[in-house]
Structure 1
């Protein structure tokens, strides 16, 4: 009986952790993404190289990377390795990679 309770408790903790991770996903509305794409296209930035940094959602960028503002948008952007990424300015974590 104890083994079953421990297994069930471990399963619940795993599910709770997955739910917390999913809650961190950022959803950018298509209209807002269009605004961002158009702005970035009109305001091109030189691509920066960040050796050893993988470009994934959730990756924090170093403080040395200058983030650019998009008017009326919460997130900032930067071009890294020729990919435009949106970044949460508070955490400096990548929230979306614009394709």
Structure 2
């Protein structure tokens, strides 16, 4: 019984680690970041407020917050949103923060 519990707990730990790591696996090249910054500046979206939001990689953006595509970056694996006037890049599948652009 203990070994089954330990195996189940280990499996959940591995799955949780994989989900958290996936947002960090997305690499934004410096030239992409320049394009993203310009894109966001030229196409402003309404800033939203998310109470107690932590502006750091891995934080999950609530489902109620709309994510916007970045059409100028081909095959972009991320979307963006403006939270409290800060641009946040988000992995759409997990809704985890990849990077905050200041």
Q: TM-score normalised by the shorter chain: which range applies?
A: 0.7 to 0.9
> Hey, what does 1:81 align to over in structure 2?
84
How far apart are 1:74 and its partner, in Å?
1.8
Q: Where in structure 1 do 4 or more consecutive aligned residues deviate above 4 Å?
A: none
Aligned to 2:12: none
Cα RMSD after superposing both structures:
2.1
Aligned twin of 2:10: none
Correspondence for 1:60: 60
TM-score using structure 1 length? 0.72
Unaligned runs of 5+ in 1: 1-16
Largest Rg, 1 or 2: 1
In the TM superposition, 1:84-99 aligns within 5 A as 84-99=87-102
Q: CA–CA distance in 2 between the matches of 1:24 and 1:45?
A: 25
**Structure 2 residues not aligned, in runs of 5+:** 1-16
Equivalences for 1:5-24 in 2 at 5 Å?
Answer: 24=24
Q: Could you state the TM-score of these two structures normalised by the residue count of structure 2?
A: 0.70
